[in-house]
Amino acid sequence: MRSLAIASIGAAIFATSAFATEVAPDSVTFGEGGTVATSLTGVAGDPASGRKLFANRKLGNCLACHVNSELSEQQFHGEIGPSLDGVASRYDEAKLRGILVNSKMSFEDTMMPSFYRLKNGARTMKKFDGKTILTAQQLEDVLAYLKTLK
């Protein structure tokens, strides 16, 4: 029993330390114009994973609203927001991260969802309540992918 308890305490400590560098949604610091300068996780984003998240209807689903020529193998691209072709030449990393974390800080009243924010619309379904649309690492992955769109 005793060793089990110790093991689980150990696991708990390990889990906490894994999270220690991850910025919680409510603790994100925004700079001028809705930018977020520092990584949410301290772990470099993976552009290949970000590319998948961009198209995934249940996660980023960015294609629902944005054209992106780099994903031309995907059949349907939405036209609600601007094309994201060359977006990395228009915005720096901090600005792009800020747009993803909380789009409303960059574009007042925008329809674009805020991907790392807890305060969303009323009546959020139980399954999604208290959760962000993307995890911190998923957001960093999408960001890494966006940075390739030059």
Partner 1 sequence: MKKLLSTVALGIAALTIGQAASADPSRTAKLVIDGTEISTHAKGMAGGPLDELYSGWLFRSDETRALQLDDFDNPAFVFVDDGETLFNKVDGSEGKSCSSCHEAGDFKGLRPVLPRWNEAKGKIYSMENYINDCRTERMGADKWKWSKPKMTSMVALISLQSRGLPINVATDGPVADIYEKGKELYYTRVGQLDMACSNCHEDNYGNMIRADHLSQGQINGFPTYRLKNAKLNSIHARFKGCMKNIRAKPYGQGSDEFQALELYVASRGNGLSVEAPSVRN
Under the rule (CB under 8 A), what is the footprint of partner 1? 57, 61, 63-65, 67, 75-82, 111, 113-114, 120-129, 131, 133
| Minimum CB distance to partner 1, residue 16 (Å) | 26
Tokens of 84: 């994201």
Mapped onto helix, strand or coil, the DSSP state of residue 132 is: coil
Tokens of 95: 């600005």
Query: Which residue do the tokens 């949604």 mark?
Result: 25
Closer to partner 1 by CB, 37 or 64: give it.
Answer: 64
Q: Which helix or strand (DSSP H or E) is residue 6 part of?
A: helix 2-19
| Minimum CB distance to ligand HEC, residue 129 (Å) | 18
Tokens of 126: 């139980």
| Minimum CB distance to partner 1, residue 86 (Å) | 16
Interacting partner of 88 out of ligand HEC, partner 1, none (Cβ under 5 to 8 A depending on kind) = none
